[in-house]
Structure 1
Amino acid sequence: MHQIFYVMQPIAITGSASISAAGENALTPRSGKHFLTFDEQLDAWVGKLPEVLKTQIEEIRDENRNYNALDASVLYAMYVSRAAAQQAGWQKGAAFGINIGSSRGATQLFEQYYDAFSKTGKAETLASPTTTLGNISSWVAQDLQNDGPDISHSITCSTALHALLNGVAWLQAGMCDKFLVGGSEAALTLFTIAQMKALKTYSRAGENTDFPCLAFDLKKNENTMVLGEGAASICLEKGKHENALAYIIGVGYATEPLKHAVSVSAEATCFQKSMRMAVESAFGSEDEISAFAEMQKNSQIPTFSEMTKNVDAVVMHAPGTILGDTSEYKAIKKIFGKNLPLLTTNKWKIGHTFGASGLLSLDTAIQMLQTQEWEETPFFSPQAKPKELKNILVNAVGFGGNAVSILVSRA
């Protein structure tokens, strides 16, 4: 018997906002171009927010003297959360929960404070409260003045989709009617990139390379991950809503045993479990339905293979590493078999935004559903070409072997 998390009622997405190297709420056109730049100071390819957008975000500091001391990761979260709440029609002081996570947290500010401490032997007064992970949701809560729980967590690169899972759980439990969930990452620092290079996962592409990140290129012979910065937030509400952008109809999660700290199995067992769980929670568990087969002989009992036909596309995690891309693809083939859907990823265009990446992928899925447009990666073909995009699966996985899959449906 598979572990099943049934989404017993529709969960509407009524607001969505994102920022990345592609800009604000950007569904990038089918141009074949990426938004990565080579930063000479960092000596690496990165996905940086456009300067105009960064300037707008930095203006938040002028609104409140307390905002001057905040890390960029907090400001990014505040910016997208304001936009998502406004789109959903949520007013300041309204009753809703908040869960915004980050993989790295207040990276820039922590490094600045530690650098000062290493030189003087003294810590700054605000060093602790402004670098704790919880200050992301806490300051978003201060900014929006919500009436509800405020939560932050870090589960590496699947953080944002875990925040979504948590929001769904609160709604399903009846403890909240609305929940704002998100992820934020502002970790473009020398130390962070040095850590990724030490793992030998970072792109070594030269400045004149056409595609520094070969995400979902199954023929590459070296790792090509590129780090990006960004944030995304979405507003969740129980039930059907006229202003719904899309609906969450299935969720899945799994953790697999590790051989070492950054490993994933050759066929990504965690993804196989999380994707199966998401599909079954949306379209019915074959195991549980078959238990009633004798009672429903005149009813058509769907097999899991038939359920997978309902999935039109998968927005993959695909970080641009050899094992990461290949193992996820093998997991997808195991789950979908001959019903392989359209496969895409956004990391070759905007970089890997760590804890924010899952919701930036979900944002891509939402916009694909709304516009009925998509962009295939330049490195993988042939592809399934759905006549219509109705249901899209979104994947994320992080260090620790933990995977999340979210099935989102057209409103």
Structure 2
Amino acid sequence: MRRAVITGMGAVTPLGVDAETTWRGLIAGRSGVGRLTTFDCTGFPVRIGGQVPDDFDPDSAIRPDADRRWIGRPGRFGLAAVTEALADADCAAAYPPDERGLAMGASVGRPDLPHLLEIARVRSTSGDPTAFVTQPPQRVMADDQNLALNAMARMLGASGPMVGIHTACSGSGHAIGEALRMIQEGDARLMVAGGYDSLTTWADILGFGLLGAMTDRYNDNPRAASRPFDNERSGFVIGEGAVAFVVEERESARARGAHIHAEIRGYGASLNAWRITDSPPDGAGAIEAMEAAIDDSGSDIRDIDVVVAHGTGTQGNDVSETRAIKKVFGDHAYRLAVTSPKSMTGHLTAAAAALNVLVGVGALREYTVPPTINLEIPDRALDLDYVPHCARSMRVSTVLINALAFGGANTSLVIASHREDSP
């Protein structure tokens, strides 16, 4: 069977506007959570989030040939991450267009507040409840959730498969898994895969706040807000950003002399069929995804050294995921290092799984596992090794990555160190 390897990485996150800066922030245990400036959040119950640094400059971060005229905030993060990943892989002329493809976990486009207010104004002044605003073409384009994907495909020069996946918090996990499948099945020799999102808008903050899913206790101390696995956790913290990878067929990458960061060994996906916002208390769904990914990779559970957890900091998710890990790994669960980067970045939603893959690649490369910060008071029901406070040096050869989304869509991936002498 064809094998898939990662040869390029790019990132725009609350910890930095490139992959290396993001990684250094993660192993330093630095929080990227602060007061939101994407809108005037005065009076909102939640006023904090993991926001991309203000020094992000799309004009310098995105390749000049990328058509971004109508692309909004999340799409620009995605284009910048893809630009960096392509440069890192140095693969511009490596494959013909029909052997290049794209799979991204994508932000869902929606009208912004001024647009909604304009619709309301026209309806109220016309007296016609069915009245609507006649929109210029650029308004329609700006709300198109596939516009950034199309721009990425054109920038890549790809005429192979293109997939935009909108499964919320597991979107980029599905995308990377589907890229693996397309390479295994011969549909492409190079795929750009990852995710991008920015739910730091007034509507998203209000909506998640009304659901009771976000913490509202730390507006005056934002760096302490994201607390996965901590007894005082009270909800997740929203984040934003993008992470992208160049994924290539292994023998083709070796033939062109590409630098290989890691190998993608396995992929599993499942659906809870439980509730929209909650994970099953017994870990069902996550169990199936992890078992499928490990089986697909050909690994034994004892081969896994690290689990990069979904780890949101909500009451139910952390319990459900911990129980799932214990069910899948048995006694080996207590020998795993389990870490949650959301403690530092907040929840990057459609890009969250891709950020977890970045953590896994870094752990494989540098034998260092980033910490789960803000884990001050352990929950007695959560008794695994969550790498509290400080990064840990340890030998790492195989990593399991989890993403457990709203709506119950779960993905797990297994990535491993690549050895040139391996068969």
The answer (yes or no) to whether the contact 2:3–2:249 under 8 Å persists in 1 is: yes
How far residue 62 of structure 1 moved from its aligned partner, in angstroms, is: 10
The answer for the alignment partner of 1:5 in structure 2 is none
The answer for the alignment partner of 1:253 in structure 2 is 269
Q: Any idea what the Cα deviations from partners look like across 1:274-330, whole Å, max 9, x if unmatched?
A: 11111112226xxxxxxxxxxxxxxxxxxxxxx211000000001110101111011
Percent identical residues: 19
Shift of the 272–123 alpha-carbon distance from structure 1 to 2, 3 Å rule, reads same
Shift of the 210–239 alpha-carbon distance from structure 1 to 2, 3 Å rule, reads closer
Aligned pairs (5 A) from 1:348-359: 348-359=343-354
The answer (yes or no) to whether the contact 2:36–2:51 under 8 Å persists in 1 is: no
The answer (yes or no) to whether the contact 1:77–1:100 under 8 Å persists in 2 is: no
How far residue 30 of structure 1 moved from its aligned partner, in angstroms, is: 4.2
The answer for the alignment partner of 1:315 in structure 2 is 308
The SS at the match of 2:267 is strand
How far residue 66 of structure 1 moved from its aligned partner, in angstroms, is: 5.2
Q: Any idea what the Cα deviations from partners look like across 1:143-199, whole Å, max 9, x if unmatched?
A: 232232222120111000111122122112211111111211022111110010011
The answer for the alignment partner of 1:38 in structure 2 is 35
Cα distance in 2 between the residues matched to 1:211 and 1:123: 43
Q: Structure 1: which 4+ aligned runs deviate by more than 6 Å?
A: none
How far residue 125 of structure 1 moved from its aligned partner, in angstroms, is: 2.1
Match of 1:97 among 55, 76, 101: 101
Q: CA RMSD in A?
A: 2.3
The answer for the alignment partner of 2:328 in structure 1 is 335
- 1:57 equivalent to 2:55? Answer no
The answer (yes or no) to whether the contact 1:165–1:251 under 8 Å persists in 2 is: yes
- The number of aligned residues is 375
The answer for the alignment partner of 2:225 in structure 1 is 212
Shift of the 154–62 alpha-carbon distance from structure 1 to 2, 3 Å rule, reads closer
Q: Any idea what the Cα deviations from partners look like across 1:63-100, whole Å, max 9, x if unmatched?
A: 57952321112211111111111211221674410112
Cα distance in 1 between the residues matched to 2:28 and 2:103: 34
Structure 2 counterpart of 1:77, one-letter code: G
Shift of the 155–375 alpha-carbon distance from structure 1 to 2, 3 Å rule, reads same
Deviates more, 1:119-128 or 1:368-377: 119-128
The answer (yes or no) to whether the contact 1:246–1:408 under 8 Å persists in 2 is: yes
The answer (yes or no) to whether the contact 1:159–1:183 under 8 Å persists in 2 is: yes
The SS at the match of 1:51 is coil
The SS at the match of 2:165 is coil
Cα distance in 2 between the residues matched to 1:317 and 1:206: 23
- 1:244 equivalent to 2:260? Answer yes
Aligned pairs (5 A) from 1:58-73: 58-59=59-60, 63=64, 67-73=68-74
Shift of the 209–185 alpha-carbon distance from structure 1 to 2, 3 Å rule, reads closer
Structure 2 counterpart of 1:344, one-letter code: T
TM-score, length basis structure 2: 0.82
The answer for the alignment partner of 1:17 in structure 2 is 10
Cα distance in 1 between the residues matched to 2:140 and 2:27: 44
Shift of the 209–135 alpha-carbon distance from structure 1 to 2, 3 Å rule, reads closer
Shift of the 207–59 alpha-carbon distance from structure 1 to 2, 3 Å rule, reads same
The answer for the alignment partner of 2:127 in structure 1 is none
Deviates more, 1:30-39 or 1:273-282: 30-39
Structure 2 counterpart of 1:251, one-letter code: Y
Structure 2 counterpart of 1:269, one-letter code: A
Structure 1 counterpart of 2:118, one-letter code: A
The SS at the match of 2:52 is coil
Match of 1:153 among 165, 170, 182: 165
Cα distance in 2 between the residues matched to 1:70 and 1:210: 30
Cα distance in 1 between the residues matched to 2:182 and 2:384: 41
The answer for the alignment partner of 1:128 in structure 2 is 140
The SS at the match of 1:37 is strand
Shift of the 339–105 alpha-carbon distance from structure 1 to 2, 3 Å rule, reads same
Shift of the 402–266 alpha-carbon distance from structure 1 to 2, 3 Å rule, reads same
Cα distance in 2 between the residues matched to 1:405 and 1:177: 22
The answer (yes or no) to whether the contact 2:77–2:196 under 8 Å persists in 1 is: yes
How far residue 51 of structure 1 moved from its aligned partner, in angstroms, is: 1.1
Cα distance in 2 between the residues matched to 1:386 and 1:271: 27
The answer (yes or no) to whether the contact 2:67–2:151 under 8 Å persists in 1 is: no
TM-score, length basis structure 1: 0.85
The answer for the alignment partner of 1:294 in structure 2 is none
Match of 1:230 among 238, 241, 263: 241
Cα distance in 2 between the residues matched to 1:282 and 1:245: 17
Shift of the 388–59 alpha-carbon distance from structure 1 to 2, 3 Å rule, reads closer
Structure 2 counterpart of 1:268, one-letter code: G
The SS at the match of 1:86 is helix
Shift of the 324–15 alpha-carbon distance from structure 1 to 2, 3 Å rule, reads same
Unaligned runs of 5+ in 2: 123-132, 419-423
The SS at the match of 2:55 is helix
The answer (yes or no) to whether the contact 1:74–1:139 under 8 Å persists in 2 is: no
How far residue 342 of structure 1 moved from its aligned partner, in angstroms, is: 0.5
The answer (yes or no) to whether the contact 1:100–1:136 under 8 Å persists in 2 is: no
Cα distance in 1 between the residues matched to 2:169 and 2:120: 30
Structure 2 counterpart of 1:236, one-letter code: V
Match of 1:198 among 203, 210, 214: 210
How far residue 261 of structure 1 moved from its aligned partner, in angstroms, is: 2.3
The SS at the match of 1:116 is helix
How far residue 250 of structure 1 moved from its aligned partner, in angstroms, is: 1.3
Cα distance in 2 between the residues matched to 1:67 and 1:30: 33
Cα distance in 1 between the residues matched to 2:322 and 2:63: 46
The answer for the alignment partner of 2:186 in structure 1 is 174
Aligned pairs (5 A) from 1:254-273: 254-258=270-274, 260-273=275-288
The SS at the match of 1:138 is helix
